[in-house]
Amino acid sequence: MLLFIAVILVLDVYTFFGLKWLFKNSKKKKLFYLLFFGAVILSYIGLLNMYFYFRETINNTLISNLLRGFFFSFFAFKLLMVIFLVFNDLLRIVSLIFDVILNFFNTKPKKVELKSRRRFITQVGLVIASIPFTSLLYGITLGKYNFKVIKHALKFKTLPKSFDKFKIVHISDIHAGSFDNLESVQEGIDLIQAQNPDIILLSGDLVNNNAREIEPYISMFKSLKAPHGKFAVLGNHDYGDYKQWNSIHEKEENLKKLFAYFDEMNFKLLNNSNEIITKENESIAIVGVENWGKPPFPQKGDLEKALQNTSEHFKILLSHDPTHWDLQVKNHPSNIALTLSGHTHGMQFGVEIPGIKWSPVKYVYPYWAGLYRFNNKYLNVNRGFGFLGYPGRVGIWPEITLIELNS
């Protein structure tokens, strides 16, 4: 934490002196001082807020999210700005070295108007650094509730014909403790119901840590209707591992309370188990495993146990972390036709336009957002219904996936 604060201080000082040089002869110098130091103060308040957010917060407020969001936005601005300022200083150092060398050989150095070039580079840096800054500010105000319905129609030769046109709504990563607007969450719930799903499947992370986070939203999720039911699995955050509990007993009681809330919302938890869905004397299996990911994420999932008595069925697997699909599922002999995951959030930041799909999270997770295929098996990685950490979304919008199965 101290190292992190030291890095932030260095960025603040470096950015301030770099921009101060740009504005030193400007009539807007006082405005620059006011805006910069105001932004610094706000960002440190946001940093302090973030400390308590990760330790004790159960449910957030709009002010809390805005403060933390501003910290992330201003941090990104300074990080980019410093890159241009460092380049400027390197340019000046190189110029001084050449001057010393030329003077040593009694060669008159050619005069170069370096000051104007440095000013131009700093101005370009200011413009470029302002782009993610304003984008991230948009993300914490409007982007975080910009729900998108993403539709996929998948064909399977092994799908029972009774399930032709069967509609699945896949949601993931609710992170209820991060929300700050009941009406906006309700809009997302209404959008889920508007898809008229046959079944609703939730692939983990209902809460950030504390089961009580979901309390304000229980009636909303309970109101969701699907003729073939609602099913869920646990994600890494649902176990409460990222919170300091007073005792092991308190942590265990929290998990029991979470199970009770799932039950109250009429979501059946598939903890390394399965449910057979029957339609017109034909059936498919909904299989669910607890979280399984690379360390330090927990590996509580037991695929073999979850698959018991499903050998003859068309199978859909709920597994929170897409790493599980990559390392255990896609080559499994049981021929799991479709796996539904989440976990990555698409990092809540990236670019998705025709021809371009990018987020920094792709360098950590090869399967990070959307639909993937291996032989005749599919993986869908939902971008998440909620948000965590950075309280917003830019380019990677909150997702409701509608998957239509075709025989």
pLDDT in tens, 276-299: 999 999 999 999 999 999 999 999
Write the single-letter amino acid at 303.
L
What does pLDDT average to over the chain?
93
Chain segment 207-258, per-residue pLDDT in tens = 999 999 999 999 999 999 999 999 999 999 999 999 989 999 999 999 999 9
Q: What is the pLDDT of residues 122-171, one digit of tens each?
A: 889 999 999 999 999 999 999 999 999 999 999 999 999 999 999 999 99
Q: 165: left (phi > 0), else alpha (psi -120 to 50), else beta? A: left
**If residue 275 lies in a helix (H) or strand (E), which one and from where to where?**
strand 273-279
What does DSSP say about strands 377-381 and 370-374: parallel, antiparallel, or unpaired?
antiparallel
Residues 6+ positions from 133 with CB-CB distance below 8 Å: 73, 74, 76, 77
- Rounded to two decimals, the pTM is 0.91
Task: Specify the 3-state DSSP secondary structure of 132.
Answer: helix
CATH hierarchy code of domain 146-406: 3.60.21.10
pLDDT surpassing 90 at residue 316: yes
Length reported for the chain: 407
- Domain coordinates of the chain in residue numbers? 2-141, 146-406
Name the pLDDT band for 111 (thresholds 50, 70, 90): low
Question: CB count, 10 Å around CB of 279?
Answer: 15
Q: What SS3 class is residue 404? A: strand
